[in-house]
Amino acid sequence: MEFQYFGTAAAEGIPAVWCQCAICQRSRKIGGRALRTRSQARINKDLLIDFPGDTYGHILTYGIDMADVHHCLITHTHFDHLYPEGLCTLKTGIAHMEEGYHITFYGSDKVCEALYPFIKGKLDDAGNGRCDVREVKAFETFGVGDYTVTALPAIHGPDSGPLFYQISDGAKNVLYAHDTHYFSEEVWDLWQETKPYFDLVSLDCTNACLPVTYVGHMGLPENIQVKERMLVEGMADENTIFVCNHFSHNGGHVVYDDFVPRAAEKGFLTSYDGMTIEI
């Protein structure tokens, strides 16, 4: 399985558009891995995770052929993870594609509500039927092409319909857990019953080195707690790849180079835009 991060930032990106804080100023100067676009990832060529407005930039930067993408898991409706207007480019007359192309978006009821007007009001009027959306619920396990996916409840802005995802291709298992607080006990209870083993665990690290004083995200301390509990409860071991991802410019006054050694000391990789992991 190939897992690739396209974007690795929180909503503002790094540097943020108008921001002149020290981290944004340093990031502009350093460039390279210090620059982060809005979060998006892909498994192999066919399964996309999230559809932000930065998708077009990712397509250009990483040579993505969207004709290869047939499934997209949406975590929630916040703009840095879902840009429904982008679906208008699937219209016939705009996208000249081979007959039979189809992509399905998967997400909560809030995600479906956000996507439905564009799919039924824009795309179907164009007569192409290239896209649909499927509602999934927390703790539901469902098929996505050749993958088996379990949707899990994220602790994040409830009006955004937040979920995170456990994804398996039958051989390897990935946990993509972003825009969520430390997991609910219901999630841990499910894992105690089902006993998954994760080859890759990607965790929200919006706060980086700062303590979390609100509900909705994690930082390195919470990532460490998740990792330690997974190891104790048998969901991971020394071979599991743990990655900190989804960073904010407000997260502890660190850029990529500052954070890498701190994360590595605790057994984590630090994501960067374009990072590819062979699992």
Q: Convert the pLDDT of each residue in 194-206 to its tens digit.
A: 999 999 999 999 9
Produce one character per residue of 222-234: b if its CB has 16 or more CB atoms within 10 Å, e if not: bbbebbeebeeee
pLDDT, residue 127, reads: 56
Produce one character per residue of 236-258: b if its CB has 16 or more CB atoms within 10 Å, e if not: beeebbbbbbbbbbbbbebbbeb
Q: What is the CATH number of the domain that holds 121?
A: 3.60.15.10
- DSSP per position, 183-225: PPHHHHHHHHHH----SEEEEE-TTTTSPP-SSS---HHHHHH
For residues 137 and 119, what is the distance between their CA atoms, to the nearest angstrom?
20
- For strand 241-245 and strand 147-153, is the pairing parallel, antiparallel, or unpaired? unpaired
Q: How many domains does the chain have?
A: 1
Residue 219 has pLDDT above 70, yes or no: yes
Average pLDDT over residues 252-269: 94
> In this structure, how many other beta carbons lie within 10 angstroms of the beta carbon of residue 206?
25
Average pLDDT over residues 148-171: 98
- Which residues are bridge partners to 163 per DSSP? 153
pLDDT, residue 122, reads: 67
What band does 125 get if pLDDT is binned at 50, 70 and 90?
low
Q: Is the pTM higher than 0.75?
A: yes
Containing 30, the helix (H) or strand (E) segment is helix 22-30
For residues 165 and 81, what is the distance between their CA atoms, to the nearest angstrom?
14
For residues 116 and 133, what is the distance between their CA atoms, to the nearest angstrom?
7
Range of the domain at 46: 2-278
For residues 151 and 137, what is the distance between their CA atoms, to the nearest angstrom?
7
What band does 124 get if pLDDT is binned at 50, 70 and 90?
low
Residue 126 has pLDDT above 70, yes or no: no
Tens digits of residue pLDDT in 17-62: 999 999 999 999 999 999 999 999 999 999 999 999 999 999 999 9
What band does 255 get if pLDDT is binned at 50, 70 and 90?
very high
- DSSP per position, 50-73: -B-TTHHHHHHHHT--GGG--EEE
Containing 22, the helix (H) or strand (E) segment is helix 22-30
**Percentage of the chain lying above the pLDDT 70 cut:** 98
pLDDT, residue 213, reads: 87
pLDDT, residue 86, reads: 93
